[in-house]
Structure 1
Amino acid sequence: MAARRGLFVAPFDALADPRVVGELAARAEAAGWEALFVWDHVQYGERVRDVADVWTCCAAVAMRTTTMLTGPMVTPLARRRPHVLARQAASLAVLSQGRFVLGIGLGDDWVGEFGAFGDQTSPSVRASMLDEGLEVLTGLLSGESVHHDGEHYRAHGVRFSPAPRVPIWIGGRFRNARPMRRAARHDGFFVIGQSTPDDIASVRVTLDEHGVDDDFAVVLDLQPDVDPTPWLDSADWVLTRVGPFDIDLDAAFALADAGPAS
C-alpha cells in the first residue's frame, strides 16, 4: 500500500499565526493532503524571527478540518511536564475527534533552545527524562491510576479522564538504535536524516526485529522539490516540508492547493 501524504509545517515568520496555519490546513485537506504536522520550537536561530505555539496551531488545524491528522512533530518531552502534556494531548484528541497524533523526541539544542531557558542540555539526561516521562505520560493517557516515583517525575495515585486514544510517534535520527527501540514500544517512528528509500527499508527490518505490529507507522519528510515517488512504497507516511527559513506564504498555499504530487 502506497504511503499516505501530509505536510510538515514550521510555524515560523509568515506562518507564525495559528489562523494562517488553520487556513493552510483547510485548503490542504480540500486538495487531498491527509495530515498537517507542526514543528515544536520556542526559537530557531537568527534566521527565524516569529514563532507560533505548536498547541494553538494544532487546535486551529483541528477546528478547520474534518479528516486530517495533526499533532506536534516532534515535541521534546524533557522540556514538558508529562502530566501537563497528557492533558494537552487528551484535549486535542477530543477537539479533533480522534485525529491527533503525539510526536515525541529528544530534541536538539543546536540553537541553544534548551540552554537559553535553563532547560536540560545534556542529551543523555534528556534521554533518561524522555523514557521516564513516556512512562508517566502513557500511564496517564490510559485512564488507569498512575503511581510513579522516579528520578525525574512523580505521580502519586492519580487518574486522568478523559482518556482518548492518542497514538505516539517517536522521532529519531536514522541509524540511531535507541530511538528505534523506544519507538517500537509505541505507534510509529518519524525517521530524521534518511538519504534513500533503502534507508527506510533497513529501518523496517530493525523495527520488525523489535516486534512492531502491522499498524505501526514509519514516517519521513522530504523537501518540496524532492520527488516523493521512490519513497511511497517504503514508508507509511511521506510528509512534505514547509519551512523553516524564508517562508513564502504564497508558495506555501500553492503547495497546499496543488495536493499530493503522487
Structure 2
Amino acid sequence: MVTEPSTPARAKRGLFLPPFDALADPRAVADLAVAAEQAGWDGVFVWDHMRYSPPVAALADPWICCAAIAARTERVLFGPMVTPLPRRRPHVVARQAASLDLLSGGRLVLGFGSGDDWLGEMSRFGDEADARVRGDMLDEGLDVVTGLLGGHLVEHLGRHYRAEDVRFLPAPERPVPIWIAARFGKPKPLRRAAGYDGVFVIGYPGPEGVVAVRDAIEAERGGTDGFEIVADIPADGDAAAWAAAGATWVLTRFGPYGLDPVAVRARIEAGP
C-alpha cells in the first residue's frame, strides 16, 4: 500500500560534483567546498570514476578530493558518491575512510554501489565485468568495511575477500554513515540499502518516485527513522518538490559535460 508522506523536516541540501575537466583538481574542488560551507550548504559529494565518456578527458581521484575537502572545511558532510566497492580493496577503503573521518572530525559519509561497465570502466582495467558477481562482491565487501571500521577483531574468509584475525585502529568515534546506490525500479539494491543508513537512488521518474522508495525501505526496515533518502537534481531544479515528497537530502548536480567553474561557483554562492 502506498502511503502519503508526512510533512517532512527541511531536507538537507548538498552538492554533487564530478571532479572532471575544469574541476579535475582537488584544490578546485576544495575551494568550491569552502564556498559551499560559507553559503549554507550541508554537504559536498564527489563522483567516483576512473574514466568517463567523451568529451570528458581529465579526472581527479575522489578520495584525494575528499581529503582536500576535509582539511579545508569545518562543518559540511562529504564523501564519495558513489564508490564502486568491487573495484577497490575493502580493507584499503576502510583504512582510508577511518583516516578521512578522523581528519574531518567525524563528517565523512560513504556512498557505495556495485558500479557498472557501460564505458568499459571495469573491463578495461581487468576488474570484474559481470554485474551479478559485482553485486556479490559489494555485499561481501560491505561486511569487511563495516567490520574493520567498527574497530573490533574481524575474521572474514569469504569467496572474494579475506580479513583474517585483524583489528583496525584508530576506529571512528561514531559509525560512519553508509548510503547505498540503487537504480529506480530495482528491488534488490533497495533491500541492500535498507540494511544501512541511506539510499541514493539513480533515475527517479520524478519526485513522486520518492514515495515508492520510502515505502519499499519502510517495508524492509519497519520504518524510516534515521534513514536518509537521497535525490539529485540539476542545478536549476526545484528542491522543494523533492523535499515535500519525502527526500531527506537533495543534492544539486553539476555536469558532467562542459563544466564552467565560474558558473558552478556562482550557483554555489547563491546558496541552497
Which stretches in structure 1 are left out of the alignment for 5+ residues? none
Contact 2:217 2:224 in 1 (8 A): no
> What is the CA–CA distance in structure 2 between the aligned matches of 1:144 and 1:203, rounded to whole Å?
33
Deviations 1:54-101 (A, max 9, x none): 011011111111110000000000001010000011111101111000
> What is the CA–CA distance in structure 2 between the aligned matches of 1:243 and 1:32, rounded to whole Å?
21
Classify the secondary structure of the residue corresponding to 1:8.
Answer: strand
1:198 paired to 2:208: yes
Amino acid of the structure 2 residue aligned with 1:258: A
1:225 paired to 2:236: yes
CA RMSD of aligned residues (A): 0.9
> What is the CA–CA distance in structure 2 between the aligned matches of 1:138 and 1:227, rounded to whole Å?
35
1:189 paired to 2:194: no
> What is the CA–CA distance in structure 2 between the aligned matches of 1:41 and 1:196, rounded to whole Å?
25
Partner of 1:240: 252
Q: CA deviation at 1:213?
A: 4.4
> What is the CA–CA distance in structure 2 between the aligned matches of 1:104 and 1:252, rounded to whole Å?
25
Aligned with residue 141 of structure 1, among 140, 149, 155: 149
> What is the CA–CA distance in structure 2 between the aligned matches of 1:259 and 1:99, rounded to whole Å?
20
1:176 paired to 2:186: yes
> What is the CA–CA distance in structure 2 between the aligned matches of 1:59 and 1:158, rounded to whole Å?
25
> What is the CA–CA distance in structure 2 between the aligned matches of 1:195 and 1:97, rounded to whole Å?
36
Deviations 1:167-201 (A, max 9, x none): 11001101111111111111000011002221101
% identical equivalent positions: 56
Q: CA deviation at 1:158?
A: 0.5
> What is the CA–CA distance in structure 2 between the aligned matches of 1:122 and 1:147, rounded to whole Å?
27
1:34 paired to 2:42: yes
Equivalent pairs counted in the alignment come to 260
Aligned with residue 217 of structure 2, among 207, 225, 248: 207
Q: CA deviation at 1:46?
A: 2.1
Deviations 1:122-155 (A, max 9, x none): 0000001001111111111111111111110011
> What is the CA–CA distance in structure 1 between the aligned matches of 2:183 and 2:105, rounded to whole Å?
31
Partner of 2:114: 106
Amino acid of the structure 2 residue aligned with 1:119: D
Runs of 4+ in 1 over 6 A off after TM superposition: none
Aligned with residue 23 of structure 1, among 3, 17, 31: 31
Classify the secondary structure of the residue corresponding to 1:232.
Answer: helix
> What is the CA–CA distance in structure 2 between the aligned matches of 1:227 and 1:216, rounded to whole Å?
22
Partner of 1:156: 164
Contact 2:231 2:242 in 1 (8 A): no
Partner of 2:84: 76
> What is the CA–CA distance in structure 2 between the aligned matches of 1:45 and 1:121, rounded to whole Å?
17
Q: CA deviation at 1:225?
A: 2.0
> What is the CA–CA distance in structure 1 between the aligned matches of 2:86 and 2:270, rounded to whole Å?
37
Q: TM-score, normalised by structure 1?
A: 0.97
Contact 2:111 2:178 in 1 (8 A): yes
Amino acid of the structure 2 residue aligned with 1:246: G
> What is the CA–CA distance in structure 1 between the aligned matches of 2:35 and 2:57, rounded to whole Å?
25
